[in-house]
Amino acid sequence: MACAALTKTLGAHAGSVVPEVAWLEELSALMEASSPSTSPRFRPDQQIHEDPPVDSRPFIMHPKHASIHNMYCEWRGISPFADPQVGVVGRNKTHGNKWRNEFNPNHYSRTSRIMKAVDHIISSDNLTWQNAVARLEPLYDRSGKSLSKMVELLVDEGLLTKVSLEVRRERRKKQALE
């Protein structure tokens, strides 16, 4: 509404020279008239809602990464996947599992197991994350960049333990109760 009134005002003065003061007074009056406090739709008991903070936007895990390096960067919120809430790790600490209700649980689970293998290599071999990730890249290439095949290869290499059927059933029961 304010835009239409402003366009109308400016259009009325298009062919003439308007003193700056008069034009600014008209603009100021239009801005005041369109402010929420004087708007007919605004009630004093009504709260003005601001846009949600940028970091509350939905987080989407990429379904297919070209490398373990990219996967690790997304998991930790490192550039090029910089995230104000520090990636998946930060969101898990802040919100638990509630923030990832929209995700495919297999995708999340497999990615988390691969990240556990990276963390294991970092701690056991006292490596930087870049070196640990570089050590796993050939394995990821061999898996055809498939998360499930990568987890199988990590189990075969002894970097992960196989999760038994009973444990998986217990986890499903626990998730169903949440």
**pLDDT, tens only, 63-103:** 888 999 999 999 998 888 777 778 888 888 888 877 777 77
Output the CA–CA distances (angstroms, integers) from residue 68 to 23, 71, 111, in the order listed. 60, 5, 10
Domain boundaries, the chain: 2-33, 63-177
pLDDT: is 31 or 109 the higher one? 109
pLDDT at 49: 45
pLDDT at 146: 94
- Matching residue, tokens 């070196």: 131
Picking from 62, 64, 68, the residue whose alpha carbon sits closest to that of residue 153 is 68
Q: Is 58 helix (H, G, I), strand (E, B) or coil?
A: coil
pLDDT at 3: 46
pLDDT at 15: 47
Rounded CA gap, 43 and 144, in Å? 60
63 touches 70 (CB < 8 A):
no
136 touches 118 (CB < 8 A):
yes
Question: pLDDT, tens digit, for every residue of 121-147?
Answer: 999 999 999 999 999 999 999 999 999
pTM over 0.85: no
Rounded CA gap, 171 and 164, in Å? 11
Rounded CA gap, 60 and 114, in Å? 18
pLDDT at 28: 59
